[in-house]
Structures are given as C-alpha cells and as structure tokens.
Amino acid sequence: MNSFLLTKLKTQYLEIDELLNGLPTEKVLERPMTNKWSILEHVAHLARYQEVFLQRLLLILSQENPELERYKADNDPAFPAWQKLSQEEVLKKLKRSRLDLIDFFESLPVYEWDRLGTHPTLGALSMQEWLRFFLLHENHHLYAIFKIRHPIT
C-alpha cells in the first residue's frame, strides 16, 4: 500500500470545490471553445470515470492480467446522461463514488497491490500504478478546469 497515493486519492479531488467556489453557473456551463468541454463536463467526466475505474479494478481482481481498453468518454454510452446532470448532482455522485474508491484501496490486501491489468499504451500496470495513472489523469482535468476559470486575456 502506498500511503502517499492514498492521501492524494482522499484529498486531490477536493480541489474541485475550490475551483468551483464563487463561479457563477454560466461560467461553469460555458464551453471555452465549441469542441471543448465546460467545467461541469470535466467534472462529470471525472465522476463517471471513477465508476469506470472501480469496475476495472474489480476486473483486475477477478482475472489474471486482463487487457483493458482505453476509456474515451465519447465512446461511453452513459456519458451523455452525465453531461446533462446539474452541478449539484454531479458533485454528489463524484463524492459518493470517491468514497467507494477510497474504501476499495484502503481494504485492498497487501498481496493484491501487485495484481496486473494491461493498458493498451502503457502496458501491464500494478494496482499501485493504476492508482497513480488515475490520479494523474484527474490532475490533468483539474488543470484544464483551472485554465477555463483563468483564461488568458
């Protein structure tokens, strides 16, 4: 178990509340460019991906080194419904599924941390590497939200 990664899992997503603090609804819903996501769509993606990620972790536990497809929100039939949720609903779902992820990793036996799942471009990753990948992916979207909130003028 990696306590640094678990601490990040428990705290990194809290940055979303900070990034949304004081923003008018119009700004949260506004797309910075026609083909780019709004702040709320980024948050919806993060919330949905948490569910997908937990399903992948369970698959890794149930199979020997499963090959996992790259997740793309555009190919996820459930994602359009997430894009239509209110900010309050998205945040509620995000926080609930985050608690599920935290519970998963906190209760994962030490011997299971070495289980592998294969990513199409990164290769075979251990549970710890999958968690690191998840957190880096989330951080990428937090940065994207930050840039929307503070556009260069």
What per-residue confidence (pLDDT) applies to 152? 79
Angle formed by the axes of helices 3-11 and 87-107, nearest 10°: 160
Beta-strand runs (E) in 20-122 = 116-119
Q: What is the pLDDT of residue 130?
A: 98
Q: For the structural domain made of 3-149, what CATH number should be given? A: 1.20.120.450
d(CA 36, CA 148): 10
Chain-centre distance for alpha carbon 97? 10
Going residue by residue through the chain, which has 153 residues, state the pLDDT in tens, using 9 for 90 and above: 689 999 999 999 999 999 999 999 999 999 998 889 999 999 999 999 999 999 999 999 999 999 999 999 999 999 999 999 999 999 999 999 999 999 999 999 999 999 999 999 999 999 999 999 999 999 999 999 999 998 876
Question: Which pLDDT belongs to residue 54?
Answer: 98
Q: What is the structure's pLDDT at 34?
A: 82
Length reported for the chain: 153
User: Taking the model in full, what pTM does it have?
Assistant: 0.95
pLDDT at 153 (0 to 100): 67
